[in-house]
Structure 1
Amino acid sequence: MTERRILIDADACPVKAEAETVATRHRIRMVLVSNGGIRPSANPLVESVFVAEGPDEADKWIAATAGPGDVVVTGDIPLAAKCVAAGAAVLKPNGEALTTANIGMALATRDLMADLRSADPFRQGGGRPFAKADRSRFLDALERALRR
């Protein structure tokens, strides 16, 4: 059996510190994948992987690496779909789990919203701000995912 890990799509992840706390408590290796600009952690359980500049390079690395037993933290729906297909557990930073049961709907919603945005160039915003309750839901979801 391979080592369990938490893989973080780190460039825009708002819950890196929370994930590190949980990883430390469970003594599970955590990998922060980014294009750079992320300060490496002094925690020996936390590894930083810096990929080449360019669109989706971190996503490509995570998708190629994730597998059964891993927990992937990302808000990127196409990346989540690849990780779910590879057998990894996937959590969004707000704690929502993406699974084989709901990833198809998440992809369809993402595509619909992209179409709506492109049809109306004056459309602004669209999402609600990340809240303290989201952090709490994430911590609970990560704990549950690691206990499975």
Structure 2
Amino acid sequence: MIVPRNRVVVDGDACPVKAEIARTVRSCGATALLVSSHAHVLVPEPSVDVVTVDASDQAADLYIANVLKGSDILVTGDYGLAALGLARGAAVLTPRGKMIGESDIEELLEQRHFSARMRRGGMRTKGPRAFTKEDRDRFQQKLTRLLGGLQENPDL
């Protein structure tokens, strides 16, 4: 079943593709909601609303969890928030253009937990690779498809 999607909800604090989101929602006749803490200054623009939450831990995630609908596209690199989005029926897309589906989330959460345990134990874990133009292009293509109604099934 294809769910029409016309709003993109963005975990905006560390999102490197905000400009791509703004361009894409305008070209597709959709809207975006960027949510960030006071530590990040985001500017509203046509078709893009900005919500600033307090700087407390997880404030942006909690706000997003409370406003997210099943017809939304959630853009986040936070796997905990991604799991909440999937539970709400939202499509979940990382800033690198990877769709996250039900079949992915358990393993991603386990990896996150394992890495956190290693860091608490004093070990170093590898960070993400450098963000590239190819990542931006892949993201924009996937977002355009989702907003155009061409629903991807990440579980296939």
What whole-Å deviation, never above 9, does each CA across 1:127-146 have from its counterpart, x for those lacking one?
Answer: 21111111111111111222
Corresponding letter in the other structure for 1:79 = L
Question: What whole-Å deviation, never above 9, does each CA across 1:95-126 have from its counterpart, x for those lacking one?
Answer: 011111211111111111112222234x2643
Q: How far is the alpha carbon of 1:39 from its aligned partner?
A: 2.9
Gaps of at least 5 residues in structure 2 are 152-156
Per the alignment, residue 145 of structure 2 pairs with 144
**Relative contact order, CA 8 A, sep 6+: which one is greater?**
2
Shift in Å, 1:91: 0.6
Q: CA deviation digits over 1:64-116, x for unaligned, max 9?
A: 11121100101111001001100000111000111112111111111111122
Which residue of 22, 25, 45 maps to 1:23? Answer: 25
TM-score with structure 1 length normalisation? 0.90
Runs of 4+ in 1 over 6 A off after TM superposition: none
**Alignment of structure 1 residues 39-118 onto 2, 5 Å:** 39-43=42-46, 45-118=47-120
Distance in structure 1 (CA, Å) of the matches to 2:146 and 2:110: 25
Per the alignment, residue 134 of structure 2 pairs with 133
Count residues with an aligned counterpart. 146
Distance 1:124 1:115 in 2: 10
Counterparts of 1:118 and 1:77 in 2: how far apart (Å)?
Answer: 19
Matched residue type, 1:33: V
